[in-house]
Structure 1
Amino acid sequence: MATKEYSKDEPAPPRWVFDLHNPPKPASKNAGSVSNPPGYSETSVGKRAGSSKVVPRKAPTTEETDTLKIKKSWEIALAPAKALPMNAIMMYMSGNSLQIFSIMMVFMLFKNPLTGLMQTNEVFRRYETEGNKETMLAVKGCYVLMQLLALGLGVWKVNGMGLLPTTRSDWLAWEGERQPLEKAVFAFR
């Protein structure tokens, strides 16, 4: 870049304008006292930057692609299990009383696994190929199991809140009058 010269008639520009038009000269390689970081080599940088011949990356085989798709699908299948501890702590902390916060938490605890169960095939559709159909059945089964575990956590919370009819007193409307086996008659003397 050529340096720009200013005439005597013009006012002198600020220093930053001068620095912008006149960049500093690059320092020589030996002038710096800072060594290169570990793993850095100037030859590999020069090969990449200066080389005009670029070696194209070979396309992955179908087996490699299927393996990557299976790994990704396993990550998706196990994702609900990774959220279970957080949901359990949140359910424990929200308490067992009927409040808007705990009701919303329980609603979300049921809604997310149910929508996950209904969309199982759509979740794994882009990872399924002809070569990995059998493995994808196991992945889908694991995904369904993880969603059922999340539903089980919701049932546990609803039971803790007292909303499940699990005691005898919850069914008193259908309880009949007990017929005594013996009758006691008081004797008057």
Structure 2
Amino acid sequence: MSELKTSKSSPKWVADLASPPAHRSKNGSIPDPPGYPSSQTTSSKKKDASKQVQQRKAPTPDEMDTLKLKKAWEVALGPIKSLPMTAIMMYMSGNSLQIFSIMMVFMAFKNPVVGILATNQAFERFETDSNRAKMFTVKLAYVAMQLVALALGVWKINNMGLLPTTRSDWLAWEVQREPLEHAITAL
């Protein structure tokens, strides 16, 4: 009796979820939409796919080395991909000494230095005995990309006026000129 009350008080969609409608048989005159094959063809394709998965052979060591080298190149070129966004953010932060621009400069120096120091750890999962010579080139490219990122930080601190690049920055080491003549004012 309580079930009867709840079914009357609950919406129709709740009853539909509890007991879904019976599956309608497919009308043969209406074709399946593109990308939605019928269940008969789907089951036969699943069987074919399982046969294909079973027939797949393991990759050879040369193929694995090639794949690892491609992945290593992706890691090596990773720092340069984030460089345009970093440059735009540095440009937009301005040249005045503010907390945001100081944090940007700090991160511009910290990330490349940490990346250079962790070069071997970044590539140890890709390195094998047979591709060690090729990995040296990849590591060299990675370090070069990190140095380009570091140069961006140097550009920013130069724009902020923190690099001593003008003669006035070195006045403490300038020798004071000795005058050739002295002028004395008269009363």
Could you tell me the TM-score, scaled by structure 1's length? 0.80
Question: Which one-letter code corresponds to 1:24 in the other structure?
Answer: P
Give the Cα–Cα distance (whole angstroms) in 2 for the partners of residues 44 and 28 of structure 1.
15
- In structure 2, the residue matched to 1:87 is 86
Shift in Å, 1:138: 1.0
- In structure 1, the residue matched to 2:114 is 115
Shift in Å, 1:36: 2.7
1:100 aligns with 2:93: no
Change (3 A) 1:21 1:42: closer
Shift in Å, 1:179: 4.0
Shift in Å, 1:161: 0.5
- In structure 2, the residue matched to 1:169 is 168
- In structure 2, the residue matched to 1:5 is none
- In structure 2, the residue matched to 1:25 is 22
Contact 2:32 2:38 in 1 (8 A): no
Change (3 A) 1:24 1:166: same
Give the Cα–Cα distance (whole angstroms) in 2 for the partners of residues 114 and 165 of structure 1.
22
Question: Which one-letter code corresponds to 1:29 in the other structure?
Answer: K
Give the Cα–Cα distance (whole angstroms) in 2 for the partners of residues 76 and 13 of structure 1.
60
Shift in Å, 1:131: 1.6
Shift in Å, 1:26: 1.4
- In structure 2, the residue matched to 1:36 is 33
Identity %: 56
- In structure 2, the residue matched to 1:67 is 66
Q: Secondary structure at the match of 2:43?
A: helix
Q: Structure 1: give runs of 5+ residues left out of the alignment.
A: 1-7
Question: Which one-letter code corresponds to 1:11 in the other structure?
Answer: L
Shift in Å, 1:66: 1.0
Q: Secondary structure at the match of 1:65?
A: helix
TM-superposition CA deviations, 1:44-69 (whole Å, max 9, x none)? 52224457x74523211111111111
Q: Structure 2: give runs of 5+ residues left out of the alignment.
A: none
- In structure 2, the residue matched to 1:11 is 4
Moved more, 32-41 or 107-116: 32-41
- In structure 1, the residue matched to 2:128 is 129
TM-superposition CA deviations, 1:62-99 (whole Å, max 9, x none)? 11111111111111111111111111111110111111
CA RMSD of aligned residues (A): 3.1
Shift in Å, 1:174: 1.0
Identify the structure with the greater helix proportion: 2
